[in-house]
Structure 1
Amino acid sequence: GRGAQAPRRRQGQGAVAAGAERIPSYFPLTPGQHGEAIRDLQRRLGAAGHSPAPGAEVGVYCPATVAAVAAFQATRGLRSDGVCDEHTWTALVEASWKLGDRSLYLTAPNLRGDDVAELQDRLARLGFDCGRVDGIFGPRTARALEDFQSNCGLFADAVCGQDTVRALVRVGSQSGTGPGVAVVRERERLRHGWGSIAESRVVLGQFGGLSAITRSLARDLRLLGATVMPLDEPDAVAQAIAANHFAADAYLGFEGSADPVVTVHYYKVPSFESVGGRTLAEAIADALQPLATALGVDARVVGMRLPVLRETRMPAVLVVLGSVREVVDQSAMVTAAVQQALELWTSRAG
């Protein structure tokens, strides 16, 4: 319970205390910068298992630091560009928390961290449905935790303190290594199909210059009976919040790229993947292969932990296309392909 507080982590020489004790006053942190913020970045990278290579300049955003940031980003499912933006810094802070470092409970804003993700993973494998493993302690996680505590004879206060952690470890040692109840539930829904486009609520987001595609797609989906909300909000988290409030069945985001690519991302972390997101991404990638061929590339499906995919509570994809000008020129083909993929996905049965 909340009274069984986790002990504070001691901070030895060069160690990094869990959490965000020091937050840089500006982002992004970029190559060539120097100072205490870069020193703290390097320490946090080391604590996360990605120390800059020997010989790196301490307190300087040197090439070794760029490589370490890029490696960390890759392991966290973020864009691996070696630049420490706010999302990368947040991921470093979240990586500093281990289950048992602090008491976990429902608060506003929600607690976030790798400790929350481990709690969710352990609960899911024991059959307590906290939804997707996203490292965010929301109401669903609180309810699942309270159910677990009640089943174990603990004081059911939805607070994960030391007693609850010990019970999770003890009971979890007897559980299997299956995918967890949230994945099983999503697979079951896929097996029976989502229904039809006419019964679906869809959010279409774009991140600059692709409103011609989202508006055209929204118009066509509405003609089929779908309830559609287009979004032009540039902030990914704001789009996710709007999609959640809309109670969407699916979120589709569109983004241009300086490179000739056709890549469809869905939510995936080491301990969890959105099955609905993956199958939707695969359907869209297959439908967009002609565009990819015209660009001289293959359409790819890549699971990532990008903010818009993590924050949405429904199956979500981010479609990254080539240059905005080329994609807009092909907007009719893109719209038709994505509509076809979405129709297939909503009606398919496994």
Structure 2
Amino acid sequence: MLRGDDVAELQQRLAALGFDPGRVDGIFGPTTAQAVAEFQENVGLPPDGMVGSTTLVELARVTPRHPELSLVSVVRDRERLLRGPRTLLRRRIALAEPGGLDALAAAVRRRLARRGALVVPILHPDGSVQAAMANRAEVDVFLGLRLEPTAAHCTCAYYAGYRYVSPGGQRLAEMVARAIDETLELVEATAVVGMSVPVLRETQMPAVRCELGPADLLVARLAEVAEALAGALEAWAAAPV
């Protein structure tokens, strides 16, 4: 697939004009190609989904209906989330852990299974591979866990880039961070940040990556942290945006 800032600019332009390219991530995939074809059809061009010189001219010529550009992809993401089930029953959840937190991941899986979720474990250190595995499994939501043994606080990251913010990912990151803070009672609150690292940019569903520490406290409160993470996912399913 084609990737880069020029693809992201194309996605932003299409989204501002009301054509949904999917997540604005700089990756030219099938959803973006479909949005290009829909745009071409609307302006009287052959809908081949390819961005040639004529299509570029039309993209520059057509102006959005509103002076304030709003990305239709964000609106559509929110609508899809609101149409989803309000429980974890039969929801597919990717739980990724590259090593070091296998006991915690196993405890989270058990608690999610009790709530009726279908957990897809992903054990690989590379973020792009994790994203590809989650995409192939067609999961509803992705939660990645990373151990930061000496960290004094935790971090929950969601996808944000190219003027796009994942509404479901941001909401889940905030809920997970709140659950962690209530459980670990660290001096510093869990940071909630938007990032464009591969595992967050390349996943096609709401995704959060949590960096957890310190290690000794996680071990001492493993059961409580596992219950907090499962509870946060359950609360997110009930109110995803």
CA distance in 1, matches of 2:181, 2:83: 27
Distance in 2 between residues matched to 1:210 and 1:349, nearest whole Å: 26
Q: How far apart, CA to CA, are the structure 1 residues paired with 2:125 and 2:199?
A: 11
Matches within 5 A, 1:207-222: 207-222=98-113
Aligned AA (2:166): S
Asked if 1:145 is matched to 2:36, the reply is yes
Equivalent position amino acid for 2:88 in 1:
I
1:243 aligns with 2:134: yes
Note the alpha carbon deviations across 1:267-309, whole angstroms, 9 max, x for none: 001410100000011111111113453x321112101001100
| Alpha-carbon spacing, 1:335–1:349, altered in 2? closer, same or farther (3 Å) | closer
Question: Distance in 1 between the 2:222 and 2:163 partners?
Answer: 36
SS at match of 1:229: strand
Q: Residue type matched to 2:159 in 1?
A: Y
CA distance in 1, matches of 2:3, 2:233: 32
Matched, 1:347 2:200: no
For residues 51 and 125 of structure 2, what CA distance do their matches in structure 1 show?
Answer: 36
**Correspondence for 1:261:** 153
Distance 1:155 1:190, change over 3 A: closer
Map of 1:332 onto structure 2: 223
TM-score between both structures, scaled by the size of structure 2: 0.93
- How many residues align? The count is 240
SS in 1 for 2:21: coil
Separation (CA, whole Å) in 2 of partners of 1:283 and 1:116: 32
Aligned residues: percent identity?
Answer: 44
CA distance in 2, matches of 1:128, 1:299: 36
**1:230-258 residue CA offsets vs partner (Å, 9 max, x unmatched):** 11111111111110011111000001123
Correspondent of 2:70 among 179, 194, 200: 179
Which whole-Å CA distance do the structure 1 matches of 2:179 and 2:16 have between them? 35
Q: Does 1:288 align with 2:180?
A: yes
Structure 2 CA distance for partners of 1:286 and 1:193, relative to 1, 3 Å: farther
Aligned partner of 1:199 in structure 2 is 90
> Structure 1 unaligned runs (5+)?
1-109
Distance apart, 1:193 and its partner CA:
5.3
The 1:276/1:349 distance shift into structure 2, 3 A limit, reads closer
CA contact (8 A) 1:285 1:301 kept: yes
Give matches, 1:1-350, under 5 Å.
110-172=1-63, 174-192=65-83, 194-257=85-148, 258-293=150-185, 295-348=186-239
Query: 1:185–1:231: structure 2 CA closer, same or farther, 3 Å change rule?
Result: same
Conserved 8 A contact 2:8-2:162: no
Shift in Å at residue 174 of structure 1? Answer: 5.0
Does the 8 Å contact 1:126/1:175 carry over to 2? no
Q: TM-score, normalised by structure 1?
A: 0.65
Give, in angstroms, the shift of residue 223 of structure 1.
Answer: 1.5
Which consecutive unaligned segments of at least 5 residues does structure 2 have?
Answer: none
Alpha-carbon distance, 1:349 to partner:
6.7
Structure 1 CA distance, aligned partners of 2:155 and 2:101?
16
Distance in 2, Cα, partners of 1:330 & 1:269: 34
Answer with 1 or 2: which has the greater Rg: 1
